[in-house]
Amino acid sequence: MRLPNNILGIAFIALTLLLGAGGAYAAEGTNGIGPNPAKAEKGEQCVEPVDDMRRYHMNYLKHQRDETLREGIRGKKYSLNECIDCHAAKSPDVAGGNIRTIKPFCAECHQFAAVKIDCFECHTGIASPIKKGNKPPMPSKHGKTDQEKDALVFGMLENYLKSKSDVGGVAE
Amino acid sequence: MNSNNLPPITEEKIDIERRRLLASGGAIAIASGIMLYGGGAGAREKGQPATSAQRWGMLIDTTADKSIWDTVVTACKREQGWGGGNNPATDPQWVRKVSIKNKSTGAEATLPVMCQHCANPPCVDVCPTGASMQRADGIVLVDKHICIGCRYCMMACPYSARSFVHEPVHNQKPHMPRGMGTVESCTMCVHRVDNNQQPACVEALEAKGSKAIIFGDLNDPDSEISRAVSAHVTRRIREDLGVEPGVHYKGI
Amino acid sequence: MASIDKNTYKEVSGNGGDYLSLIAWLGVFAVAGIGSAFYMETQGHVVTGMTNQIVWGMPHVFAVFLIIAASGALNVASMSSVFGKKIYKPLGRLSAIMALSLLAGGLLVLVLDLGRPDRLDVAMLKQNFKSIFAWNIYLYSGFFGVVIVYLWMMMERRFNKYSKIAGTFAFVWRLALTTGTGSIFGFLMARPGYDAAIMAPMFIAMSFAFGLAIKIIFVTSAYRATARPLGDKLLFQMRNLLGIFIAAALYFNIAQHLTNLYAPEHMGVEMFILLDGGIYTILFWVGQILLGTIVPMTLLFHPAINRSCQSINAASMLVIIGGIIQVYIIIVGGQAYPMDMFPGFEVTSTFFDGSIHSYTPSLPEIVLGLGGVATALLIMMLAVKYLPILPASLSDAAIGPANITTDEDA
């Protein structure tokens, strides 16, 4: 059975404090003993200083998820999909190393910290080959070049305008 | 995030004719993949919360040819990543084609039924954790991060619009996380609406030249949907319950 | 003014083979229940009989039964503390223990059936105060607190004088609790099988009967097993009371069905339960009415048989079985009948709109439900072993004159 994560979290904190390893690990991150998350695939720097990310990424994520889901605020920087976009890496364990997945990156420290996250039961941990956001799935206009698309779109616009002026009754 | 090649569309950049058009609520494609609808003023900047200035709704024309509703179901499946199971009683269905026949006259109709995005949603009232929720703009959602899977909302929903995820899910869409043990339903494609696009089903219909579903802002008197709703007699399912659905039906 | 409890209570020795093997069996069932929950959680609810149409099934039947029985079990204690029925005083402590353990068993089942039981902390931390469910979280946890205090007042001689006030508080709380449980169904406006205010008082009447039936069986078995004296006075008193409670539950049931028959929107579901609902109609007439009501009433009131311990026990057992069946009809039957989305229309769809929904309980969910029952009994069994709960004697002499209502406590 999955135990509530924060119980595990509390247990972990108690344990690290006990072993006196907490500080060293949080500050260094990669000191040979602790976890050693892979380098980001993309980007020069993280969305916050690395030190902050190590400590507070869960707060950023949870804050953003509430904002996005409950209030509809989008495009902020702590998007899980963005983390995936930069941090997902190919791993020989997953699909023969053909796809980039985030799970090993997040699992690296969490395993060490005995934290269990359920995020990827729902969120895909797989980075899409094309950066998402640019090309929302648009079945009707799929596979056209940008110029073709624009031509199509402006054609539609023209038709639309025409049909409106035919009817005549455009409300102001 | 959404680094489109075209400059951002702002009010000033839209010439007067197009603005007229926008105000009239026409759904038009401005640039690759970006659809504007229901009044330019309604378009929300990125990073802004949804507000009650809008009330998103749909008008479904049940007189349309009934085969068109398969397009709706397929588009929803493709967009949101549900479907494909083989346990009809437990597989989630976010939208379904319902056939009705008047018991006394024999008249028939076929219409899609999904979350009706009620103004007074019973699912939100009963949810113990607040996972079942209503956004300021009227879209009813499940916050799957705090859903405990009690299914009380499914008991309360007059439309059987919600499904419980009975089995592990794989290959979710990046924009639509789904997972076992939580409840889900039509989101009115909030991820698209927040990007000033129309819901996938509406778009798929439009691609087939059908206007069987009009999506838009019911609060904007000039939007296409508002004008249509005021021009025709429309009905909402189980209006007697007082839940004030945001989905209107024409022709039943 | 003070009413000191003069009964002697003694732990049961609990070293006999019978006791230990019963504990072992209950343990096996409890563990099996938890194992089932684990299985359901890893495989998904697809391994249960529950579907997107019958969203609440066997676990909820057991959970609701146990929860309403819990509040009913407390009733015997209230009879003495609150209403001055001194004859029930010796069973006060047991009543409180039974209430606590039945509630614990019921909640265990309810929680383990959740889609995400690992998020229980969320349910505790984030609450929507409009939700009856959220109120119930307070009603249930409050009930534990209130009953524990009450139990303490009863068990600690110095505090006996407060037991009346604690008992009154607990009594009011349990009424609220059962009302809350009944309201879970009463507020489902779209479901013709539920939408009725009478749900709440009916649940209270049912709780009286279920709780007392469980108590009678527990007391008679425990006193036989421990060879402690149990006099007829108390037994017959409980027998009469059980008869009255069954009648009260029947009354509300008849009232519910009759009022529904007058409301056009409830007509369909009424006909379904009473006439043409297949298994639900059989369960109603044979299970709930015949086995759960008529037979036990006969056993309890017919002068030729109502003086035997066996008939009283059999009646109690039937009340429990009939009760579970009644809850099944309410929960599952109420969902099996389709919602009327388009009144006046025949409705069909891929989502089974407009058709009677079928439900076949699966083994894991039944085992989970039984696991809750076993847990409740296990707690009771352990409590009577480690705490002075059961009076050393319930003989007629120890009880004192029957049928007297004293105001001594006041």
pLDDT of residue A96: 74
Q: In whole angstroms, what is the distance from residue A25 CA to residue A36 CA?
A: 10
The pair of three-digit structure tokens given for residue B231, joined into one six-digit string: 């021009």
How does residue B31 score in pLDDT terms, banded at 50, 70 and 90? very low
Nearest CB among C37, C38, C121 relative to A4 is that of C121
Cα atoms in the 13 Å half-sphere on the side-chain side of A124:
16
The single residue listed with the structure tokens 């409009």 is C130
Nearest CB among C133, C188, C339 relative to B160 is that of C339
pLDDT in tens, A52-92: 999 999 999 999 999 999 999 998 889 999 999 999 988 77
Contacts of C119 in chain A (CB under 8 A): 4
Q: Judge whether B185 and B162 are in contact, CB under 8 Å.
A: yes
Return the partners of chain C (3 or more C-beta pairs < 8 Å). Answer: A, B
Q: State whether A2 and C41 contact (CB < 8 Å).
A: yes
Q: Judge whether B28 and A157 are in contact, CB under 8 Å.
A: yes
Smallest Cα distance from A153 to chain C, Å: 36
Nearest CB among B20, B169, B207 relative to A139 is that of B207
Q: In whole angstroms, what is the distance from residue B63 CA to residue B72 CA?
A: 15
Q: Judge whether B217 and B226 are in contact, CB under 8 Å.
A: yes
The single residue listed with the structure tokens 């004296």 is C229
| Percent of chain B at pLDDT exceeding 70 | 83
Q: Judge whether C181 and C136 are in contact, CB under 8 Å.
A: yes
Nearest CB among B101, B129, B154 relative to C123 is that of B129
Indicate the length of chain A as a whole number: 172
pTM across the whole model: 0.85
A74: closest CA among A83, A64, A89, A88?
Answer: A64
Smallest Cα distance from C121 to chain A, Å: 7
Contacts of A6 in chain C (CB under 8 A): 121
pLDDT of residue C52: 96
Q: Higher model confidence: residue A22 or residue C86?
A: C86
Q: Mean pLDDT lowest for which of A145-149, B30-34, B184-188?
A: B30-34
Contacts of A118 in chain B (CB under 8 A): 179
Side chain identity at residue A99, one-letter code: I
Contacts of B88 in chain C (CB under 8 A): 350, 352
Smallest Cα distance from A113 to chain B, Å: 22
pLDDT in tens, B116-165: 999 999 999 999 999 999 999 999 999 999 999 999 999 999 999 999 99
Minimum CA–CA partner of C43 in chain A: A1
pLDDT of residue C3: 56
Q: In whole angstroms, what is the distance from residue C314 CA to residue C308 CA?
A: 10
- Give the strand pairing for B28-31 and B34-36: antiparallel
How does residue B43 score in pLDDT terms, banded at 50, 70 and 90? low
pLDDT in tens, C340-378: 999 999 999 999 999 999 999 999 999 999 999 999 999
Cα atoms in the 13 Å half-sphere on the side-chain side of C327:
27
The H-assigned helical ranges of chain A are 5-19, 22-28, 50-66, 80-87, 103-113, 119-122, 146-167
Residue A169 has pLDDT above 50, yes or no: no
Range list of β-strands (E), C289-344: none
Q: State whether A172 and B46 contact (CB < 8 Å).
A: no
CA distances from B147 to A118, B65, C114, C294 (A): 13, 38, 10, 43
Residue A156 has pLDDT above 90, yes or no: no
Return the partners of chain A (3 or more C-beta pairs < 8 Å). Answer: B, C
Interface test with C, best of B95, B129, B185 (most C CBs within 10 A): B129
Q: What are phi and psi of B109, to 5 degrees?
A: -155, 155
Q: In whole angstroms, what is the distance from residue B88 CA to residue B109 CA?
A: 23
Residue-by-residue DSSP string for C226-270:
TT--B-HHHHHHHHHHHHHHHHHHHHHHHHHHHHHHHSHHHHHHH
Minimum CA–CA partner of B4 in chain A: A134
CATH of C4-119+131-339+355-399, one of 3.40.470.10, 2.40.50.140, 1.20.1260.10, 1.20.1630.10: 1.20.1630.10
Minimum CA–CA partner of C39 in chain A: A1
ipTM value of the model?
Answer: 0.90
Contacts of A69 in chain B (CB under 8 A): 141, 143, 145
The pair of three-digit structure tokens given for residue B74, joined into one six-digit string: 């397929």
pLDDT of residue B42: 53
Residue B35 has pLDDT above 60, yes or no: no
Nearest CB among A72, A121, A134 relative to B135 is that of A72
Contacts of B127 in chain C (CB under 8 A): 128, 131, 133
